[in-house]
Structure formats: structure tokens, C-alpha cells
Amino acid sequence: MSALLRGVLLYGEGDPVDVLVEDGVIARIGADLPVQGTEVVEAQGKVLLPGFVDLHTHLREPGREDTETIATGSAAAALGGYTAVFAMANTDPVADTQLVVEHVWRKGQEAGLVDVHPVGAVTVGLKGEKLAELGTMARSAAGVRVFSDDGHCVHDPLLMRRALEYSKALDAVIAQHAEEPRLTVGAQANEGEVASRLGLTGWPAVAEEAIVARDCLLAKHTGGRLHVCHVSTTGTVDVLRWAKSWQGGGVTAISSEVTPHHLLLTDELLATYDPVNKVNPPLRTSADVQALRAALAEGIVDCVATDHAPHAPQDKDCEWSSARPGMLGLQTALSVVAHTMVITELLDWRGVARVMSERPAQIAGLPDQGRPLVEGEPANLALVDPDARWTVRGSDFASIAGNTPFEGMELPARVVLTMLRGRITAHEGKVCG
């Protein structure tokens, strides 16, 4: 099987070239390659990037298949340009054993649209009391290399220390949902002027920053690898800048991610009381949004991760205080990054490749993802129309749930084709099974 992508701009740069994909790899790159005997994709003016890697996806299977399954989440990922996703462990049952992580991994293979890597829980049942069997999960068929209690913070410093020590031995990374729980009891919104005005209990920035600072120090002390999930405040950026100054360039022991929604939306949206805007960590201020964009551009925050969090209508179309936190992200991530980072000239397309593909692949240790667009490399690819404009409709998404905060928004740029090891998984908005 072979395919020829005609007239693409590699990383949006230089002259148009043709890219021949054969036997799962980029076989040739050049001008006017022969079209005979190959499937031709006319891609003039489209930007070719390495397929995206999402370090933070909630696929909800097992347990909440009414909101998302590994198959529907994989379809959403392929449509969004992703070739690998990391499925968070807060399922039911929790992914804290070999049995569950291998189940998720197999289901991902069956769906076959994107590499689904299960994230293993750090603590048994996400309870924060006892370390889960990290070694068994690492050695399982799923080969778990990312561990996280996401949804919950590993707040016990001794457990976090031990987890970081294990991460070294297992060549793994501990992804922390940084939230000091004693500071967020009853919290419903970013602590600040908007929360006060609306009468919502505040989630202070310091609850995130205190844990990030502590964990950076623990990572330094243990030599373990820390990844900070969904950075949301200016203060966290300051802490990360400080922690990064301890190390040299390149791949560092401390890494972090920012979500598309924290790059665009602010707590001013809460005035609508629409729980579609409820998320954890909460939407912050426009000053935080600006600081996060700058930090991503500069590399203080390493990458973009969606925190794709599908929820059932009954868990979202209700009173603010009882609504669940979380929002969809897989099918809008590239466009929100284009809107917040490319159009603003904070990143070029090469920078997008870095934050959506290369860095997340390096952080998770994936050898065949986030690779350069050169001959001989695996054909994990995302083709983007940089000139597209489209209106977000949650009901059109492949996800079962429809809780997108971007509903009705017009966004720039769109993924038109995704390839996983040379096989087209999504094309022109349709999944190719």
C-alpha cells in the first residue's frame, strides 16, 4: 500500500513537495514524484506535520461507555490529527493493575485508529494511600511508562517521593494533577474577582503552585521524572522556570503541559453559569492565559495536552455546583492552538510540531512518534489546512459526549488527513477504519 501526498508544505515552510508513503514509512520526499500505482492525495498548500501525541486523554472505558469508548475516543483522536494518545487511569475500575491496563491497550489495538497507551494509576484506586503496582504495569504487554492519579493529586509527599523513585527505575514519568486538596475544599471556580462576584467558592492558584514547587524539589531530590499536568497559573510558570534553570537544555527531568482551553478561555465565561465551562483546574484570568501562551512559546511549558474529558448530559446540564468538571478537546486542539499561538505569531508550524508531537513523544519515550519529516521515518502524520475556517458543533464530533466549550465558535485551521504508520485513519472529516 502506498500513498502520495502532493504539493505539501513540510512544517508550513519552503517550496511545495510530494511525499510518498510506502510500507508505513516516508519513502521519498521530492518534487513531482511519479503518481502511478499509488493513492494520490491532492494536498496543495496544506501543512504536513508529524502526527500529534496527546499525553492526557480521558477515554472513559471501562466504566462510562455512555460518554466515550476507546473506539469513539480513538476516532475523535484520529480526526483531530492524533496518532498516539495516553488514556488516563480514572476509569471504573481504575487502571491500577496489569489486567486493566492490558484491557485498555488491547481495545486500543482493536480500534486501530491511534496508538492508545494506558496511563497507570500511581496509587491503588486513586485513593492516595498506597502505591499501585507500577512495576507490574510497566512490565505488562501495555508497557506503561506514564503514571498518574489525574483527577486527584498525589498529595502525600512520601508517596510522591516513592513514585518518583520508582519512575527512575522503570524509565517512566509521574504525571501530577497538582492540586493541594486542603486548599480546594468545596472549590467551584478560580479564586478571584469573578468567583467573588458570582458567589462561588474559590480554587486558589497557590493550591496548584504549592504542589508544583514541592514536586519539582522532590524530582530534584530523587532524580525521578515529573510531568506537571494542565498548568493553569502564572505562578506555576514562574515555579517551572525556576525548576528548569536547574537543568541543561534538551529533554529535562521536569516537563509540563497546557490545555487548549487554558490557552483561550477565561473565568469571565462563568458569568453564564453554563457548566460546560466547568473544568479542573478552573479557567483562570486573561493574565494567566497570556502567561501560559508565552510560556508555551518559550518552552517553559513543554507541550499541549487536551485533557479531553467527555461527560454525560446529566452530569453537565445541571446546577453548576453538581456538574462534573471537564471538556472535550481532541477534535478542537489543533484549531485552538492555531488560533491562540499561530495567528498570534507566538509559534510557527514547526513550533506546533514541537508542542503537539515531538515534545510529548519524547516525554513519554515513544520512539516512533514525533519524528522528523524525513525519508525513512515512520509515516505518522497530520495534514493541516492552514486556511480553513470552521464552526464548532459538538454534535458533529465522533465523541459520544458533546461537552465542548467552543460550541458555535469559528476557528482557524483544520486537520484534513491523519496517517498512522502509512495508513489513512481520517480524511476530510471522516474516519477511515
Q: How far is the CB of 151 from ligand DOR (least distance, A)?
A: 4
**Least gap, CB of 58 to Zn ion (angstroms):** 9
Stretch that binds ligand DOR, among 6-14, 238-246, 322-330, 406-414 (CB under 6 A): 322-330
Judged by beta carbon distances under 5 to 8 A according to partner kind, the member of Zn ion, ligand DOR, none in contact with residue 224 is none
90 counts as binding ligand DOR under rule CB under 6 A: yes
DSSP state of 378: B
Between strands 189-190 and 202-203, the pairing is parallel
Known catalytic residue: 32? no
In whole angstroms, how far apart are CA 141 and each of 29, 117, 213, 269?
35, 11, 34, 44
Q: Rounded to the nearest whole angstrom, what is the least distance from the CB of residue 416 to ligand DOR in the complex?
A: 29
Residue closer to ligand DOR (CB basis): 53 or 126: 126
Burial annotation 213-250 (CB, 10 A radius, 16+ → b, else e): bbbbebbbebebbbbbbbbbbbbbbbbbeebbeeeeee
- From the number of C-beta atoms within 10 Å of its C-beta (0-12, 13-18, 19+), residue 25 rates as middle
Give me the sign of the Cα torsion angle 319, 323, 329, 333. Answer: positive
Taking residue 36's Cβ as centre, other Cβ atoms within 10 Å add up to: 6
Q: Is 279 in the site for ligand DOR (CB under 6 A)?
A: yes
- For Zn ion, the binding residue among 150, 215, 267, 302 (CB under 5 A) is 150
Partner interacting with residue 90 (select from ligand DOR, Zn ion, none; CB below 5-8 Å by kind) = ligand DOR
- C-beta of 179: minimal distance to Zn ion in Å? 8
| Residue 177 engages Zn ion in binding (rule: CB under 5 A) | yes
DSSP at 228? E
385 binds ligand DOR (CB under 6 A): no
User: What's CA 99's distance to the chain center, in Å?
Assistant: 24
Catalytic residue among 115, 288, 302, 307: 307
Q: Is 214 annotated as a binding residue?
A: no
- Please identify the residue of the shown chain whose CB is closest to the bound ligand DOR: 326
CB 52 within 8 A of CB 420: no
Q: Is 90 assigned a ligand-binding role in the annotation? A: yes
**Partner touching 279 among Zn ion, ligand DOR, none, CB below 5 to 8 Å by kind:** ligand DOR
325 interacts with ligand DOR by CB under 6 A? yes
58 counts as binding ligand DOR under rule CB under 6 A? yes
Q: How big is the site for Zn ion, counted in residues (CB under 5 A)?
A: 2
Strand order in the sheet with 52-57: 52-57, 82-87, 115-118
**Residue 257 binds which of ligand DOR, Zn ion, none (CB < 5-8 A, kind-dependent):** none
If you ran DSSP here, which 8-state letter would residue 46 be given? P
Place of cell 489513512: 424
The reply to whether 280 sits near ligand DOR by the rule CB under 6 A is yes
Residues whose CB is less than 8 angstroms from the CB of residue 302 and which lie 6 or more positions away in sequence, other chains included: 255, 256, 257, 355, 359, 360, 363
Min separation Cβ 89 and Zn ion, Å? 11
Collapsed DSSP state (helix, strand, coil) of residue 354 = helix
Residues 127-186 that bind ligand DOR (CB under 6 A): 150-151, 177
Cα(96)–Cα(134) distance, integer angstroms:
8
Amino acid at 70: I
Q: Which region, judged by CB under 5 A, interacts with Zn ion, from 35-43, 171-179, 271-279, 296-304? A: 171-179
Residue 115 beta carbon to ligand DOR: minimum distance, rounded to whole angstroms: 21
- Whether 230 has a binding-site annotation, put simply, is yes
Among 169, 258, 178, 165, smallest CA distance to 220 is for: 165
Binding site for Zn ion (CB under 5 A): 150, 177
User: Which residues are at the interface with ligand DOR (CB under 6 A)?
Assistant: 58, 90, 150-151, 177, 279-280, 307, 309, 324-326
Residues contributing to the annotated binding site for Zn(2+): 56, 58, 150, 177, 230, 307
Q: Which residues sit in the known binding site?
A: 56, 58-60, 90, 150, 177, 230, 280, 307, 311, 325-326
Active site residues per annotation: 307
